[in-house]
Structures are given as structure tokens and as C-alpha cells.
């Protein structure tokens, strides 16, 4: 048995249990390779949205009798599922079987009277449960099982990685630990649904849909919640009524451009969230950005939210990434490891700036997997050739057509291991001719760069846009240097893997170690390395780094 596992009393069966769990829950949403279970993106979105509409969020007292709580709620109708979580207090997410139960519950709730302060009587699905005599209830309460909403600590991750059986096992372990859980996904859809209630006060029949990493299968626990206020449903609803002389004047009030309309809509919704939105704090209206947005924290769920509108192309690119993530189980494992690696080395940041983004990293991994022989992922152009008439999709003049039925795409014949792919990923981008070439997942081929940004990754649909326009030369250089060094570490690892009986970091654990990040040739700081072996490795990296210290321009 691995001594670390014994030492840190990490139960020997954890990894195996998790593996079994993943196998048994295999579906397109978790990205496993059970091809029969693969659902279309729109099916998943619709099912989850409907589920969220039957769900309520309840802030509970810290001590609560779960049985009584559920019995009380089921007076309003049968409950389908529920879970508890902690975020500045105890919260319950309760999904009823029927939507009517939510209305029934709303009808018996009251707006609190706050003494001299006044409450705004907004009838939401976010409740606060106050028990009158909570003191005598607490005595024989069994503790509530809370679902975890955050990613594992570095220490726990490190333990799990060191106890893994192989580098492949390490990548899969990291994926299992960081991917969004079922509960976290539900909470994301519920939060969108609660915001939709607020927006619906202005725009009845609107929809607030999550997009980005919350739904594209590449989200890590703790990632932001990107939401899209979809007003198209309203258009559809009225478009059917073509006869008659009445046009709804209030709906056709004209503004000079689509952008101005977007700004006006977000401005009022932002104001509304700020003034009346239950649990919405720190509302910022960022209306002059290329893509105007309202940013806020949803306190109860703990999510940092970005609300946009008129952003249908981003929803489509989320669908595309979801498809790539579901096509082959290696895709998500590789993307998660690359994202964690980038975070560990401060290549990405939660603050906007000249850094590379997770979205760009995902595009790079997809491109790399398209370049394998045989390819692991098909090009977007190929997915377009598989599309049928129903898949046709033109948004703002951009052709966003691709096949949406995952089951129509043949699996790849490539059987390369994750270990090899990770090493080759670092080698590939450590030697990529960034100075002249652009990354293009539509064609799956390097293209000449159309402009001079240090890093050029073509937006898959708005092909004139560069997804990584913000990235500076020095950030790109940092990425290239770290990629080279990581390739080198993995290369050495292959030759000289520590015995399972040693407690030395190896494989992915060695790549993620903060001591590695702090000691690579890029950093001036010197810290004591974690072990002699790592120290030796780093010394050799430094000398090889010095030889290769030419910029990012090619092989």
C-alpha cells in the first residue's frame, strides 16, 4: 500500500469508489463514454430549466430536523429531491414534483416586518425559514449531510494524486475532484431560474439560460456562472400572431442599434437586481464592454454571476464545447488538468487582464486533439458537413451550423494514453510558431495569423474575432516556458518514476506543485524544493531553460 495513503489516512478505496460512481452515473453530462446515453445539449438545458422551475431555495436555521422539514414542505405537494449545502449558513434546495407546489408554498409565506426598516414585497422562490422555538428542537437532531460545493484543497488533491496508480489515473482523479457535481449543477440552473423571475417582471416569457463553463462540461467547482437573458422566446410567441391590425407598441419602441438595445435592457435589469433582487449583491453594470454585462454576486448560492443578453453565439459555442467534451472521455480529463496546471502556475487569474483564459486553453486542447494522428476530435467544418436541415443555425449573419446529435459522430480510432497526450500537449505548444500561426478549430489546421496579437485563436463562429486578443507577449512567453518545462518533467518522469513506496510527488502532482511554480527559471524567487529529487529536476530544467530561452517563435 502507498505509504502516503497510510500516513495521511486516505482510505484505500476512495479512488476505486469514485471510479465506480462515475461508471454507474455515466451520461453525456458527466462526459463518460456511454454512447447510448448521450443527450443533446438542448435536451439537457430544457430538462434542467424545467426542473429548476419546480425548485425552491430555503435558508434554514443551522440546526434543523430534516424529517420534519420535509414533512412540512410536502404539505404543498410531493418532493422529488432535495439537498443541503453550506454558504454563510445552511441552505436547502428542494425540488417539488409539480410547479403548483411552489405557488402553494409561496401563498403561505409572509414578508417579514423589520421594525423601522421596510421590506420590498417581491414574491420570490428564495425563502427564509424561521423556527419559533428552535431551542427545544435541537436536542436530538442528527447532523445534516451537506453537499460540498467547493473544489478540493491543494493538500487533498496532492494526496489523491500521489496515491494514484498511473498518470492516466491522476488525470481522471483530478477530473472527478474538480468537475461540477450534480448538486452544484442544479444550484446553477436554480440561480438562473431565480434571476429569470426578476427579469420576467420586465419581460414576461423571457428565459435566463446558463452558458460557458457551467454547461459546456469543462466547469470546475467554483467557476463563475455565465447567464444569458434570452428575449427571443417573446419574439417567437408574438410572431405566430401574424394576422390582425394590432402591433404591440411598447414592444417596438426603437433604439439606434442592437447594442444600444442590449445596454438599455441590461441597465434596467441590473438596476432591478440591485434594488430588489433577493440575495444579489455587488451589482456592477459593465455596459461599455464589447459584450455588455451585469456582474453580481448571488450570495445564497455563492456564485459570481455575469449576465449578458443578445449573446446567442456564446450559447452556441457552449454547445459546441459540450459536444467536444462528450465525444471522447480523454478530452475533459486533459482540459481539466491543463486548466489546473495553468492556475497553479498563475497563468490564469480570476481578475481580468493580459492572462490567458480557461476558454482559450480549452480551444488549445481541442485544436491539439484535432492534430493527433488519427485525430481524437473532428474539426468544426467536418461537424458542419454532418448537419441536417434541422441543425441549420445562422446567428447575426454567422453560420453556426453543426450536427447536434452526438450519436451521429463516429468515435476516434486513436488509443493514445492521457499520459502521452499531456506530455505531447506541452511539447506541441512549447514549440508552436505563435509568431506566425493562428489556432483554428474550424479547420483543425494552423492558419497564418491575420493580425499581430501575440496569441491568435480564431473564434469558431465569429471568425474575424480573436478569442485571446487580451494575451500579452510576456504572458504567452510564460505559458511557453512552463509548457516546455512541464514536458521535460514528464519526459524525465517516464524514465525515472519513484517507487510507489516513496512519498515523492510524481507525474501530474509534480507539475502542479507550487514549489515547481515558484522555482522554474521564470521566477527570481528561490524556495526550498519539496524533495531532493525535485530539486535535481529543477536544476536541470534551469539549464535547459537557459538554452531554450529564445522567444515564442517556432521550432
Of residues 262-321, those binding ligand CTP (CB under 6 A): 314, 317-318
Q: How far is the CB of 283 from ligand CTP (least distance, A)?
A: 18
Give the residue, chosen from 55, 191, 213, 310, that forms a contact with ligand CTP under the rule CB under 6 A.
213
**Phi, psi torsion values for 211, nearest 5 degrees:** -145, -170
Nearer to Mg ion, 44 or 314 (CB): 314
**What residue 219 binds from ligand CTP, Mg ion, none (CB within 5 to 8 A, per partner kind)?**
ligand CTP
User: Which cell numbers in the block locate residue 416?
Assistant: 493514445
**What residue 357 binds from ligand CTP, Mg ion, none (CB within 5 to 8 A, per partner kind)?**
ligand CTP
Q: Which residues contact 116 (CB under 8 A, 6 or more apart)?
A: none
Nearer to Mg ion, 159 or 318 (CB): 318
- Length of the chain equals 555
Q: CA-based diameter of the chain, in Å?
A: 83
**What residue 210 binds from ligand CTP, Mg ion, none (CB within 5 to 8 A, per partner kind)?**
none
Q: Tell me, by CB under 6 A, how many residues bind ligand CTP.
A: 16
Q: How far is the CB of 340 from ligand CTP (least distance, A)?
A: 12
**Phi, psi torsion values for 120, nearest 5 degrees:** -90, 120
Q: How far is the CB of 40 from ligand CTP (least distance, A)?
A: 18
- Can you tell me the distance from the alpha carbon of 371 to that of 25, in angstroms, rounded to the nearest whole number? 31
Q: Which residues contact 112 (CB under 8 A, 6 or more apart)?
A: 119, 128
Nearer to ligand CTP, 73 or 321 (CB): 321
Residues 15, 24 contacting (CB under 8 angstroms): no
Q: Tell me the sheet residues that pair with 235.
A: none
CA distances to 138, 256, 322, 328, 404 from 253, rounded to whole Å, are 57, 10, 37, 48, 36
Question: Is residue 94 part of the contact set for ligand CTP (CB under 6 A)?
Answer: no
Among the residue ranges 72-80, 92-100, 206-214, 249-257, the one whose residues contact ligand CTP (CB under 6 A): 206-214
Binding mask 345-364 for ligand CTP (x = CB under 6 A): ------------xxx-----
Give the residue, chosen from 183, 224, 405, 416, that forms a contact with Mg ion under the rule CB under 5 A.
224
Q: How far is the CB of 307 from ligand CTP (least distance, A)?
A: 12
Q: How far is the CB of 25 from Mg ion (least distance, A)?
A: 24
Q: How far is the CB of 393 from ligand CTP (least distance, A)?
A: 15
Q: How far is the CB of 79 from Mg ion (least distance, A)?
A: 31
Q: How far is the CB of 421 from ligand CTP (least distance, A)?
A: 21
**What residue 508 binds from Mg ion, ligand CTP, none (CB within 5 to 8 A, per partner kind)?**
none
Q: How far is the CB of 452 from ligand CTP (least distance, A)?
A: 18
Number of alpha carbons in the 13 Å side-chain half-sphere of residue 136: 2
**Distance spanning both ends of the chain, measured CA to CA:** 43
**What residue 317 binds from Mg ion, ligand CTP, none (CB within 5 to 8 A, per partner kind)?**
ligand CTP
Q: Tell me, by CB under 5 A, how many residues bind Mg ion.
A: 4
Question: Is residue 224 part of the contact set for ligand CTP (CB under 6 A)?
Answer: yes
Q: How far is the CB of 469 from ligand CTP (least distance, A)?
A: 7
Which of 450, 444, 483, 490 lies closest to 356 in space, CA to CA? Answer: 483
What 3-state DSSP class applies to 439? strand
- Can you tell me the distance from the alpha carbon of 79 to that of 89, in angstroms, rounded to the nearest whole number? 23
Question: Is residue 226 part of the contact set for ligand CTP (CB under 6 A)?
Answer: yes
Of residues 200-219, those binding Mg ion (CB under 5 A): 212-213
DSSP secondary structure string, 48-95? HHHHHHTEEEEEE-SS--HHHHHHHHGGGS-EEEEEEEESSSEEEEEE
Nearer to ligand CTP, 84 or 303 (CB): 303
CA distances to 330, 430, 509, 524 from 419, rounded to whole Å, are 10, 17, 13, 30
Q: Locate all alpha helices (DSSP H) within 139-231, ordered by sequence.
A: 154-163, 167-178, 182-199
Question: Is residue 505 part of the contact set for Mg ion (CB under 5 A)?
Answer: no
CA distances to 117, 146, 218, 299 from 87, rounded to whole Å, are 25, 10, 23, 8
Question: Is residue 223 part of the contact set for ligand CTP (CB under 6 A)?
Answer: yes
Number of alpha carbons in the 13 Å side-chain half-sphere of residue 501: 0
Question: Is residue 31 part of the contact set for ligand CTP (CB under 6 A)?
Answer: no
- Can you tell me the distance from the alpha carbon of 258 to that of 255, in angstroms, rounded to the nearest whole number? 8
**What residue 169 binds from Mg ion, ligand CTP, none (CB within 5 to 8 A, per partner kind)?**
none
- Please give the helix or strand (H or E) that residue 125 lies within, else none: none
What 3-state DSSP class applies to 413? coil
- Can you tell me the distance from the alpha carbon of 211 to that of 189, in angstroms, rounded to the nearest whole number? 10
Binding mask 440-469 for ligand CTP (x = CB under 6 A): -------------------x-------x--
Question: Is residue 338 part of the contact set for ligand CTP (CB under 6 A)?
Answer: no
Q: How far is the CB of 189 from ligand CTP (least distance, A)?
A: 15
**Residue closest to Mg ion (Cβ):** 212
Q: How far is the CB of 343 from ligand CTP (least distance, A)?
A: 10
Sign of the Cα pseudo-torsion (26, 31, 35, 39, in order):
positive
CA distances to 212, 228, 313, 462, 504 from 316, rounded to whole Å, are 10, 12, 5, 11, 44
Residues 55, 190 contacting (CB under 8 angstroms): yes
Question: Is residue 367 part of the contact set for ligand CTP (CB under 6 A)?
Answer: no
**Residue closest to ligand CTP (Cβ):** 212
Question: Is residue 226 part of the contact set for Mg ion (CB under 5 A)?
Answer: yes
Residue ranges that bind ligand CTP, judged by CB under 6 A: 211-213, 216, 219, 223-224, 226, 314, 317-318, 357-359, 459, 467
Residue ranges that bind Mg ion, judged by CB under 5 A: 212-213, 224, 226
Amino acid at each position: 500500500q502507498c505509504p502516503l495513503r497510510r500516513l495521511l489516512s486516505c482510505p484505500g478505496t476512495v479512488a476505486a469508489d469514485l471510479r465506480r460512481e462515475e461508471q454507474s452515473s455515466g451520461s453525456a453530462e458527466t462526459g463518460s463514454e456511454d454512447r447510448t446515453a448521450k443527450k443533446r445539449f438542448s435536451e439537457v438545458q430544457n430538462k434542467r430549466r424545467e426542473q429548476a422551475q419546480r425548485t425552491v431555495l430555503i435558508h434554514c436555521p443551522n440546526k434543523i430536523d430534516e424529517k420534519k422539514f420535509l414533512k412540512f414542505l410536502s404539505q404543498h405537494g410531493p418532493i422529488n429531491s432535495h439537498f443541503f449545502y453550506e454558504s454563510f449558513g445552511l441552505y436547502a434546495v428542494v425540488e417539488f414534483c409539480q410547479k403548483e407546489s411552489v405557488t402553494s408554498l409561496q401563498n403561505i409565506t409572509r414578508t417579514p416586518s423589520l421594525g423601522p426598516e421596510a421590506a420590498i414585497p417581491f414574491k420570490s422562490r428564495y425563502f427564509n425559514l424561521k423556527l419559533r422555538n428552535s431551542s427545544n428542537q435541537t436536542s436530538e437532531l442528527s447532523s445534516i449531510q451537506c453537499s460540498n460545493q467547493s473544489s478540493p484543497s491543494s493538500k487533498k488533491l496532492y494526496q489523491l494524486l500521489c496515491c494514484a496508480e498511473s498518470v492516466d489515473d491522476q488525470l481522471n482523479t483530478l477530473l472527478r475532484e474538480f468537475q461540477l457535481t450534480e448538486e452544484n449543477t442544479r444550484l446553477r440552473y436554480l440561480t438562473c431560474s431565480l434571476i429569470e423571475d426578476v427579469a420576467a417582471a420586465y419581460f414576461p416569457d423571457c428565459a435566463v439560460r446558463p452558458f460557458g463553463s457551467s454547461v459546456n462540461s469543462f466547469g470546475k467547482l467554483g467557476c463563475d456562472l455565465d447567464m444569458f437573458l434570452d428575449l427571443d422566446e417573446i419574439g417567437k410567441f408574438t410572431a405566430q400572431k401574424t394576422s390582425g391590425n394590432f402591433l404591440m407598441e411598447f414592444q417596438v419602441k426603437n433604439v439606434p442599434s442592437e447594442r444600444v438595445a442590449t445596454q438599455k435592457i441590461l441597465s434596467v435589469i441590473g438596476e432591478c437586481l440591485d434594488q430588489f433582487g433577493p440575495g444579489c449583491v455587488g451589482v456592477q453594470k459593465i455596459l461599455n464592454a464589447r459584450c455588455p454585462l451585469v456582474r453580481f454576486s448571488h450570495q445564497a448560492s455563492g456564485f459570481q454571476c455575469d449576465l449578458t443578453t443578445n449573446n446567442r453565439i456564446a450559447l452556441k459555442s457552449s454547445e459546441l464545447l459540450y459536444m467536444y467534451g462528450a465525444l471522447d472521455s480523454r478530452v475533459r480529463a486533459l482540459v481539466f488538468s491543463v486548466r489546473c496546471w495553468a492556475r497553479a502556475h498563475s497563468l490564469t487569474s480570476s481578475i481580468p487582464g493580459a492572462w490567458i483564459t480557461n476558454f482559450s486553453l480549452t480551444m488549445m486542447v481541442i485544436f491539439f486533439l484535432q492534430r493527433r494522428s488519427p485525430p481524437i476530435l473532428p474539426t468544426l467544418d467536418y461537424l458542419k458537413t454532418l448537419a441536417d436541415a434541422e441543425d441549420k443555425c445562422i446567428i447575426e449573419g454567422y453560420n453556426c451550423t453543426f450536427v447536434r446529435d452526438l450519436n451521429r459522430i463516429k468515435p476516434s480510432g486513436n488509443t493514445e494514453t492521457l499520459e502521452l497526450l499531456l506530455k505531447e500537449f506541452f511539447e506541441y505548444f512549447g514549440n508552436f510558431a505563435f509568431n506566425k500561426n493562428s489556432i483554428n478549430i474550424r479547420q483543425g489546421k494552423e492558419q497564418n495569423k491575420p493580425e499581430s496579437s501575440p496569441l491568435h485563436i480564431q473564434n469558431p463562429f465569429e471568425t474575424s474575432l480573436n478569442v485571446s486578443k487580451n494575451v500579452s507577449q510576456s504572458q504567452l512567453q510564460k505559458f511557453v516556458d512552463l509548457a516546455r518545462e512541464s514536458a521535460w518533467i514528464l519526459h524525465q518522469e517516464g524514465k525515472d518514476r519513484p517507487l510507489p513506496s516513496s512519498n515523492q510527488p510524481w507525474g501530474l502532482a509534480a507539475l502542479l506543485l507550487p514549489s515547481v511554480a515558484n522555482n522554474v527559471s521564470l521566477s527570481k524567487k528561490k524556495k526550498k524544493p519539496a524533495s531532493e529529487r525535485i530539486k535535481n529536476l529543477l536544476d536541470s530544467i534551469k539549464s535547459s531553460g537557459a538554452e531554450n530561452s529564445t522567444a515564442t517563435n517556432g521550432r
